[in-house]
A and B are shown apart, each in its own frame.
Chain A
Amino acid sequence: MKAINRRQAFALGGGFVMLTLMPMAADAEVTNDAAKWIEKFTAGKQPAKGKISLDLPEIAENGNTVPLSINIESPMTAVSYVTDVMIIADGNPNAGVATLSFTPLSGKAEASIRIRLAATQNVVAIAKMSDGSLFTEQKTVKVTIGGCGG
């Protein structure tokens, strides 16, 4: 066995630090029942990427009120429109955030709400079209102060 030299030792040490910091990394792991929510909404169908533009701040100083805007590309006519959009947060105590229901009378599939985020996590939106197709988009939000009280 080859003895590790100084450079390799440093690399190893660095890796170790990275590992210990992992739970705080931006790609927060799913800590709640998000999968169940998605399963219920999509009924097992795999949503495609695209059509949705999800607008969230990259860094939220106050997790108690994080502005969220969503816009889904759709003609919004009686034959082709967005029916429902589910928004979930995968690091909150409960994954559910809101389910928006549009109609052709909405004119545009666009809405803004303010949400609470407990910690740095991913916010996922899944849109259901009137023809049954599904689209998804997700954004990671870094949260400085959690918004679910203590």
Chain B
Amino acid sequence: MADKPRIKLPKEATKGEVIQIKTLVSHVMESGQRKDAQGKTIPRKIINKFACEFNGKPVFSCALEPAISANPYIQFDAKLDEAGTFKFSWTDDDGTVITAEEKIALKA
């Protein structure tokens, strides 16, 4: 099983602020193009979808292809109108989903 995904975002932000979120998950992202020592093609195994939700509402998502580097790094922004929880999910070709959550508060 992959390591815990790394997520970087501020702990708190002012209302209406656009914050930057950086995510990184450990994954080989096997492209399905490479061959092993015996000349056999190594089957494709990648994270094909990443999604981020805030309090149940979609913020950002992306469909990924084999042209994404190993240990996919994804950086995007989110506008904050209320305190709540970000939910992140990475979907593997084999159906496993890696999930993570981060809470954020509003600055007083």
Residues of A within 8 A of B (CB): 64-66, 76, 89, 92-94, 96-108, 110-117, 147-150
Contacts and interface: CB of A to CB of B under 8 A. Distances in A.
A98 B34 contact: no
Interface residues of B, number: 30
Contact of A112 (B35, B64, B73): B73
Contacts of B70: 64-65
B79 to A, nearest CB: 3
24 contacts: A65-B69, A65-B70, A76-B79, A97-B67, A97-B68, A98-B62, A98-B67, A99-B62, A101-B63, A103-B57, A103-B59, A103-B60, A106-B76, A106-B79, A107-B77, A108-B79, A113-B68, A113-B74, A114-B73, A115-B69, A116-B67, A147-B69, A150-B34, A150-B35
Contact of B78 (A100, A105, A114): A105
Nearest to A89: B67
B62 A115 contact: no
Contacts of B69: 64-66, 114-116, 147
Given A97-B65, A98-B62, A103-B58, A112 B77 contact: no
Contact of B74 (A92, A94, A112): A112
Interface majority SS on B: helix, strand, loop or mixed?
strand
A108 B66 CA distance: 26
A150 B62 CA distance: 27
Given A98-B63, A101-B60, A108 B68 contact: no
Given A104-B79, A114-B69, 9 more contacts: A64-B70, A96-B67, A100-B76, A101-B58, A107-B79, A112-B74, A117-B67, A147-B69, A148-B33
A50 B64 CA distance: 24
B54 interface: yes
Contact of A114 (B18, B54, B61, B72): B72
- Give the most central of A89, A104, A115: most B CB within 10 Å: A115
A99 B74 CA distance: 12
A115 B57 CA distance: 28
Contact of A116 (B31, B77, B79, B80): B31
B99 interface: no
Nearest to B66: A94
B75 interface: yes
B45 to A, nearest CB: 13
B77 A106 contact: yes
Contacts of B54: 105
